Structure 1
Amino acid sequence: MIGDSSHSVESRIPFYGKLFSLIAFVIILNLPAPADMTSSAQRLAAITALMAILWMTQAIPIAATSLIPLVAFPVFGIQDPKTVSGSYMNENIFLYMGGFIIALGIEKWGVHKRIALNTIRVIGSSPRRVVLGFLFATAFLSMWISNTASTLLMLPIGMAIIGSISELAMFDSEEDSSKAIQHFSVALLLGIAYSASIGGVTTLIGTPTNIAFQSIWTSQFPDGPQLSAGEWMIMVVPFGITFLLLTWM
């Protein structure tokens, strides 16, 4: 009975999401605007509320909600069609799409496993060296795919190594205790998370915030030096290596 009621509530969420989003849109659109708010800004706020509720409730597919400005902005006089469509076809969007395509290829062919295992083989199999190997392997993956994706790819490998510590005999007889294994597990899992964030900073496609920064920099300082992918790596990779070593220590 409880399961049926919860299923009934979940099935109604899309309906209520559409209803409340339209109500919020109409209310904001017809409210008296503050003195310092233009009519275009008020219409933009109404569309933003509409999209926010649709995103939160997933009343319609997320991708479909993302396309609403393509129609709504020109209709309500917020932006012309050329400007709106140009935002969807921005070069940074395609750069980030390339990162997702690389991530799919890495996952399909198991490249992340080969990188992790080969790194450990080169660095060594002692607990500290295993952590160091995972730090660099995860950071390297995160340079080309998103932080979250690289963490999700490396986490199962890390969990498998933690689960087979006893079989690998990675601890000396004096250290081979549950406490030592627990410390190693915490260090390895936190290392994967931290190194994914560190690696993501070192390239433009490593994390969306880098691309956003480049876009804002270009728009705010059009006459200033432009940040290419190569220049970004030259500036940031040395800091990334330093932070990885500090994390390991």
Structure 2
Amino acid sequence: MTKTALITGAASGLGYELALLLAKDQYKLILVDVNAESLAKAQAEITQTYNVQVIALAKDLSLPNISQEIMDDIDNAPIDVLINNAGFGLFGSFANTNWERELAMLHVHIITTTHLTKLVLKGMVKRGSGKILNMSSLAAFQPGPLMSIYYASKGYMLSFSEAIANELKGTGITVTALCPGPTKTSFQETVSKNTTANKIKFNTACAKEVALYGYKAMLNGKTYAIPGGFNKFLATIPRFITRNAATNIVRKIQAKNRND
């Protein structure tokens, strides 16, 4: 039987690359994204390239109860693979950043992702099979001055994923947190829409390579995956220095890479 995958943030970047990998493996796709125009383009491109069914749902994942709306729209169809990829960043001092934008980020990264995971997981548990890939970040391993909400939300996603992965041992269901470093996607353009200088330039990876790394990790049932040897090294640094020192280092990196 054809398996079904649901991917959020699927119109571009890592979500789109992951959708391509799933289409290549003949999954039926349910693509969710807030950008209806880009989503329709992604749907057309995937349909033309691979002989798979692609359903596109234009949804604002920052809205309350949007996860239930998605499940209602697909008639609670069984999902074999769930990829919670949607997300965005916001640069600036917390005292000065826009609360509405931060609230939307918290909904997308935490509330919607958690709720959608719960709704999809119920069916997976009944069937005794399923795979979930949650998009965390290298940012999850330490506090992030100048992107405080983003770093904190990604820390939540890593912790949440590891916890439920442990709970689901022996059920036939795996949960993987993908923790990439800076990756060349549209994410960089949304971090600070009004400041062209605020683009991360350091240690930037290719979206296609990061997606393939995460996809393989998900298929292999890894609990978390960090693409790139240097990123693995960076993730270990907070274990060997004080949290205050780690926070200061991140602050300097954040400031430097947005002012070069």
TM above 0.5, yes or no, is: no
Indicate the structure with greater strand content: 2
Indicate the structure with greater helix content: 1
Larger relative contact order (CA 8 Å, sep ≥ 6): 2
Larger Rg computed on CA atoms: 1
TM-score, normalised to structure 1's length?
A: 0.23
